[in-house]
Amino acid sequence: MVLSFGWKNVIVIFEDTDNGRDMATFMTNFFQEKSIAITYMSPVSTSARNEVLLEELQKLSYLQTKVYIMHASHSIASHIFQNAKYLGMMDAGYKWIVTSKTMNLLNFTDDEVIESMQGVVGFKTYITLRSKKDINVYAISAYDGVSALAMAIEKMQSVLKLNTKDLATNGSAQWGYNTSESDVKNLI
């Protein structure tokens, strides 16, 4: 979405957890590859008091960049959006994008929070009606993670070749390149 609109600077707000830091690292790498600058990274503690969130948002409001990408639980996001609305950071000129971490549990959010989120764009995991009754969001996330890992392994198998001769003789094996270095770079 950032690419589609041609925005060159973003601010990343993320929950200060392993998952949040991993996503922030992923976003940093992705945006660097696309020549998009991350003006500021804002880790938010899961135990942050409302006053701390308000103070952090005030600091962000003084920055020139007005495009915010947030990866946080719906409970933290709720407090952030209510404070952002209070500070006028949900008005025209501000752009907010949230990841599925916020969006997937949005239906558990009260109307006041939903009201404060008007104009926010988010990405949500899509679950078909048929599978909804049998699977929850966490199961879908686990499935997505395992699927991504499986696809990566399949791609790597076309590039890396397991030395099975060593496996048969000494019970261990090493991976080795099966193709050119440029092919490996294209995968990454």
Q: Residue 20: which CATH number?
A: 3.40.50.2300
What pLDDT score was predicted for residue 5? 81
Q: Is 90 within a domain? A: yes
**Domain assignment of residue 34, yes or no:** yes
What dihedral do alpha carbons 174, 179, 181, 182 form, nearest 10°?
-150
pLDDT tens track, the chain, 188 positions: 787 788 899 999 999 999 899 999 999 999 999 999 999 999 999 999 999 999 999 999 999 999 999 999 888 888 998 999 999 999 889 999 888 777 766 655 677 777 777 778 777 666 665 555 666 666 666 766 666 666 666 656 544 444 444 444 554 444 444 444 444 444 44
On whether both 13 and 97 belong to a single domain, the answer is yes
- pLDDT, position 174: 44
Distance, in Å, from the CA atom of 88 to the CA atom of 82, rounded to the nearest integer, reads 10
- 3-state DSSP assignment of residue 56: helix
Residues 91 and 32 in one domain: yes
Q: Where are the alpha helices (DSSP H) in the chain?
A: 2-5, 18-33, 50-61, 74-86, 100-103, 111-116, 129-132, 137-159, 164-170, 181-187
Q: Residues 34, 90: one domain?
A: yes
Residue 47 shares a structural domain with residue 82: yes
CA distance 85 to 130: 37
pLDDT of residue 8: 92
Q: What pLDDT, on a 0 to 100 scale, did the predictor assign at position 157?
A: 54
Number of domains observed in the structure of the chain = 2
pLDDT score at 152:
64
CB 91 within 8 A of CB 3: no
Q: What are the φ and ψ backbone dihedral angles of 110, each rounded to 5 degrees?
A: -80, 165
Q: Whole domain around residue 166: which residue ranges?
A: 144-187
Residue 105: predicted pLDDT: 62
Residues 78, 21 share a domain: yes
Sign of CA dihedral 100, 12, 59, 93: negative
Q: Is residue 138 part of a domain?
A: no
72 touches 42 (CB < 8 A): no
In tens, the pLDDT along 160-177 reads: 444 444 444 554 444 444
What pLDDT score was predicted for residue 64?
93
Q: Tell me which residue of 111, 100, 56, 51 sits closest to 78, measured CA to CA.
A: 111
Q: From the CA atom positions of the chain, what is the Rg in Å?
A: 21
pLDDT of residue 172: 44
Q: Which two tokens stand for residue 4?
A: 């589609």
Q: Which residues contact 121 (CB under 8 A, 6 or more apart)?
A: 1, 95, 96, 97, 98
Residues 86 and 159 in one domain: no
